[in-house]
Structures are given as structure tokens and as C-alpha cells.
């Protein structure tokens, strides 16, 4: 487990840990951790000098890195950021044709060692965040559809992560969190 703060971590809005009751599961939809880091460091919100990222990243080999501490609100999901911790699994997803109607399959499996590391992380979060009760997939919280990049007459999901290969039952069996939406 490594701590590697994003350059703008201190510019993210502060919060009380007592308001954090939700973990949002993501996958990076990028080829590797280094690329995910580069995307996380990009400044996309000029007013605050911040960008989009999760708090935690879990690599395919089980390596865990923290980009943002829990006391800061990271931008990782529409509408749920102030109350949640974002956990990103490195996984190719639909990269690099995210919104191409012909490339919507998310077919890279999550290795067992990555899922085992995730479960250990979630149990640790349970210890550090007293109000934590819920877990949800990004795809469950952001169901927006947008025009497909290859054909304007078609619509695709803006967010599909962590996708159909994420082993929800296996993970939920090992952690004391309830899945949202209830």
C-alpha cells in the first residue's frame, strides 16, 4: 500500500469523515496505472485547479495506491462525491473507444489477486470511516446515455464501470456493506 498524493490534493474541498457513508466502485477504462495517474493529474476544473480521480487505485497485481486522502472530496461520480470514497480498479474497459457503439463490451477479467486486494482495502476503509454503510457501482449511480461516437443515431452508456465482470457476489460476501441502490 502506497501513499502518492495528486499534486492538487490540498485544493480539493475538505469534508468531515462522519459524512462518508458510501464506497463507489470504478474501473479506470485505461490500459495501466501509469496512464490512470496521468489522467488523474490533469487539471479539468480551472476554478479550483483540480481534476477527476478516485481516492484509491488497485492495480491488476494487487498493488494499492492512495491518490487522495479521505478528508478531501475527490471528483469521481456525478452527484455523490461529498459522501463517498472512490475506488478504481485498473482495467481496460472500453479503452480507447469508450463511446463507440461497436466497442461496448468490457471483457477484461478482474484477476483474483486484484479482487483479494480490493476486499482487504474495503475492510480497512470500514475501520477508518465510522459512518461507512454502502457500496455502489459507478454504473448504478450514473445511468446517463450519450450519442455514440461512431453513429449519432445511436446512444451508449456514458459510464459502465466496473461492468459485468466485476464479481459483486464474491465481494459483498466478504464485507459488511450494503449495495446501493437499495
Q: Which residues contact Zn ion (rule: CB under 5 A)? A: 26, 138, 161
- Say if strands 64-66 and 56-58 run parallel, antiparallel, or are unpaired: antiparallel
End-to-end CA distance of the chain: 31
In angstroms and rounded to an integer, the radius of gyration of the C-alpha atoms of the chain is 16
Instruction: Give least dist CB 153 to Zn ion, A.
Output: 26
- Judged by beta carbon, residue 10 or residue 141, the one nearer Zn ion is 141
Least distance (Å) from Zn ion to the CB of residue 139? 8
Q: Nearest approach, Cβ of 26 to Zn ion (angstroms)?
A: 3
Q: Where are the alpha helices (DSSP H) in the chain?
A: 33-41, 112-128, 138-141, 168-172
Residue 171: helix, strand or coil by DSSP? helix
Amino acid at each position: 500500500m502506497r501513499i502518492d498524493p495528486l499534486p492538487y490534493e490540498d485544493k480539493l474541498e475538505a469534508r468531515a469523515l462522519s459524512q462518508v457513508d458510501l464506497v463507489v466502485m470504478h474501473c479506470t477504462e485505461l490500459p495501466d496505472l501509469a496512464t490512470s495517474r496521468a489522467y488523474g493529474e490533469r487539471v479539468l476544473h480551472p476554478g479550483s485547479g483540480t481534476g477527476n480521480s478516485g481516492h484509491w487505485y488497485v492495480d491488476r497485481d494487487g498493488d494499492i495506491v492512495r491518490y487522495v486522502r479521505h478528508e478531501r472530496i475527490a471528483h469521481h461520480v456525478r452527484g455523490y462525491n461529498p459522501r463517498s470514497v472512490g475506488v478504481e480498479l485498473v482495467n481496460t474497459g472500453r479503452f480507447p473507444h469508450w463511446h463507440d457503439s461497436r466497442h461496448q463490451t468490457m471483457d477484461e477479467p478482474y484477476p483474483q489477486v486484484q479482487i483479494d486486494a480490493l476486499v482487504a482495502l474495503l475492510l480497512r476503509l470500514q475501520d477508518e470511516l465510522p459512518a461507512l454503510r454502502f457500496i455502489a457501482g459507478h454504473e448504478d449511480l450514473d445511468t446517463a446515455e450519450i450519442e455514440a461516437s461512431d453513429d449519432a443515431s445511436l446512444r451508449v452508456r456514458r459510464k459502465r464501470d466496473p461492468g459485468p465482470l466485476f464479481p459483486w457476489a464474491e465481494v459483498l460476501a466478504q464485507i459488511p456493506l450494503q449495495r446501493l441502490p437499495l
